[in-house]
Amino acid sequence: MRIAVRPIAAGAPRVPALWIGMAEGDTLESLKLPAAFRRPVRAAIAARDITGKKNQLAVVYADSGRLLLSGLGARKEINADVLREAAALAGRRAQALGAHEVGVWLPSVSPRLPLAGSLQALAEGLSHGGYAYTAYRTRASEKPADLDSLIFFAGKGELAEAKSMAASLAALLDGVRAARELANRPGNDLTPRAFAESAQVMARANALQCKVFGPRELEKLGAGAILGVARGSTEEPRMIELTYAPKGRSRGTLVFVGKGITFDSGGISLKPADNMDRMKFDMCGAAAVVGAMQAIAQLKPQVKVVGIVATCENMPGSKAYKPGDVLKAMNGTTIEITNTDAEGRLVLADALSYAQKLQPDAVVDLATLTGAIIIALGTFTAGMYAGDDKLGARLMDSSRRTGERMWPMPMWEDYLDLMKSDVADLKNAAGVREGGACSAAAFLKQFTKYPWAHLDIAGVGHVDRERPGLARGGTGFGVRSLVDLAMRWE
């Protein structure tokens, strides 16, 4: 993402599309627009194509190019979330219209709102809505545009502050986009091996350390859970460790862990055929971790951050693990398999055990872990399970700041009782559907001896239905909150 800031000069800026925010009650005069915009904007207002209501978007044409007139609702109620949503809607439309670049007329929002927060929310929204996954489009005429350049037009008093934000905002948004690119790659392209190669390429470009563990190294580590899941596939598993170490004093060590099942067929407990293609997205948690590490490498917080990705396929090959098998995780815990489709918690069991070696001050895992969290919360929020109240509160703060919605879920002992096995220390599936996301979280907790929180992102990691302001596919959910957590860590 390219982000530029330019001073407002005489005359109208020439851009393929220019975003102008309009609240209820705004008039042609109050918007302080260049003379060249007045005619088309006046016409749109007169026709009531735009009245300033939320979710309105009118596209009008000045001689200098398109204007995207974007409704913001009541002026008093505008906040970062409102701006982000309005910008996403506009970004999506600009993308649909083939615009690679959008300008933002900052004076339409800034005089009455804090500049930094508005600028960030607008950039996030435009980038989010304007994103398109184009890697597999071979026909030029059908290749969607990808909005990848933003120009903020700022008044004199705002120029310096806006300019100082541009590079770090671009780094953040590139991290989100990197996560979405990974999430959207088909399963035959993003195999566990390809995932590790992509992480290595990213690490090299961003001066991160990258270690990759293959089957032999995992064997040595005693990672019997991920090795068990991987047995049903001809693709080998990988565990990827990305390390960012700050220069100078470090405020501690954060570890982010991601579930990276590049395709979840369910294994021997095979899933039904309907929508099985969506299970290429079962690595959204891992994608968010890699995207966040990329942004963190560029933003350089004063804290050590380690990203761990546990990645493999879950397939029903002839060597596949079976219901009734017992696996042994890296921390020595034995697990009876009661359903091979509950594989995410198994690969996480090893990754969370591994995190212990890093002596972390906090660990956050992200996983498209259960269908049950979608039944509980729908597709608008992640479920947040806090093994540690303080870490949970910090994560909720990041959620509020970023607009990545999270909702606190319970971690009572009762859920753990559901995970007790007759033959091993634990079983991997409760056998009762009720509270399925909570019993999964209770299972994960058994592999953590440090402040830990778990985000079940099954409902938010990707969207299957077109939504205003959002392309179908991977959302990059979690990247911004992880980065926020790291940047504010103390």
SS (H, E, C) 241-264: EEEECCCCCCCCEEEEEEEEEEEE
Known active-site residue 345: yes
Looking at 21, 40, 187, 436, which residue binds ligand BES (CB under 6 A)?
436
Q: Which does 295 bind (CB under 5 to 8 A by kind): ligand BES, Zn ion, none?
A: none
User: Over the range 175-202, which residues count as b (16 or more CB within 10 Å of their CB) and which as e?
Assistant: bbbbbbbbbbbebeebbbbbbbebbbeb
389-402 vs 479-487: helix crossing angle, rounded to 10: 120
Q: 395 vs 458, which CB is nearer to ligand BES?
A: 458
Site for Zn ion in 326-345 (CB under 5 A): 341, 343-344
Q: Which pairs from 25-30 meet CB under 8 Å and 24+ separation?
A: 25/52, 25/74, 25/75, 26/52, 26/75
Q: Which does 17 bind (CB under 5 to 8 A by kind): ligand BES, Zn ion, none?
A: none
Is residue 342 within the footprint of ligand BES (CB under 6 A)?
yes
How far is residue 435's CA from residue 275's CA, in Å, rounded to a whole number? Answer: 23
Q: 291 vs 344, which CB is nearer to ligand BES?
A: 344
Q: Quick one: which segment of 42-50, 216-224, 254-262, 319-327 binds Zn ion (CB under 5 A)?
A: 254-262
Check: CB of residue 314 under 8 Å from CB of residue 261: yes
Looking at 94, 288, 295, 429, which residue binds ligand BES (CB under 6 A)?
429
CA distances from 434 to 372, 375, 415, 426, 439 (A): 8, 10, 10, 18, 9
Is residue 82 within the footprint of ligand BES (CB under 6 A)?
no
Q: x-or-dash pattern for ligand BES, window 343-362, by CB under 6 A? A: xx------------------
Q: 122 vs 437, which CB is nearer to ligand BES?
A: 437
Is residue 341 within the footprint of ligand BES (CB under 6 A)?
yes
Known active-site residue 271: yes
Is residue 313 within the footprint of ligand BES (CB under 6 A)?
no
Q: Which does 436 bind (CB under 5 to 8 A by kind): Zn ion, ligand BES, none?
A: ligand BES
How far is residue 244's CA from residue 202's CA, in Å, rounded to a whole number? Answer: 12
Spell out the residues 6+ positions from residue 415 whose beta carbon is closer than 8 angstroms to its own. Answer: 435, 438, 439, 441, 442
Q: Which does 339 bind (CB under 5 to 8 A by kind): ligand BES, Zn ion, none?
A: ligand BES
Pairing of β 362-367 and β 326-328: unpaired
Is residue 313 within the footprint of Zn ion (CB under 5 A)?
no
Looking at 101, 148, 282, 350, which residue binds Zn ion (CB under 5 A)?
282
Token pair of 329 as six digits: 């995780």
Nearest approach, Cβ of residue 5 and ligand BES (Å): 39
Q: 53 vs 407, which CB is nearer to ligand BES?
A: 407
Q: Which does 51 bind (CB under 5 to 8 A by kind): ligand BES, Zn ion, none?
A: none
Check: CB of residue 425 under 8 Å from CB of residue 333: yes
How far is residue 381's CA from residue 405's CA, in Å, rounded to a whole number? Answer: 5
Is residue 101 within the footprint of ligand BES (CB under 6 A)?
no
Spell out the residues 6+ positions from residue 15 whose beta carbon is closer than 8 angstroms to its own. Answer: 64, 65, 101, 102, 103, 151
Q: x-or-dash pattern for ligand BES, window 223-262, by CB under 6 A? A: ----------------------------------------
Q: 94 vs 279, which CB is nearer to ligand BES?
A: 279
| Residues pairing with 326 in the sheet | 336
CA 196 to chain centroid, in Å, comes to 19
How far is residue 201's CA from residue 210's CA, in Å, rounded to a whole number? Answer: 9
Check: CB of residue 122 under 8 Å from CB of residue 19: yes
Check: CB of residue 348 under 8 Å from CB of residue 259: yes
Q: Which does 58 bind (CB under 5 to 8 A by kind): ligand BES, Zn ion, none?
A: none
CA distances from 284 to 95, 157, 158, 457 (A): 24, 41, 37, 8
Nearest approach, Cβ of residue 375 and ligand BES (Å): 9
Q: Which does 371 bind (CB under 5 to 8 A by kind): Zn ion, ligand BES, none?
A: ligand BES
Looking at 282, 313, 350, 484, which residue binds ligand BES (CB under 6 A)?
282
Looking at 158, 264, 365, 404, which residue binds Zn ion (CB under 5 A)?
264
Q: Choose the catalytic residue: 92, 345, 394, 480.
A: 345
Residues engaged in binding ligand BES (CB under 6 A): 264, 282, 339, 341-344, 368, 370-372, 429, 436, 458
Active site residues: 271, 345
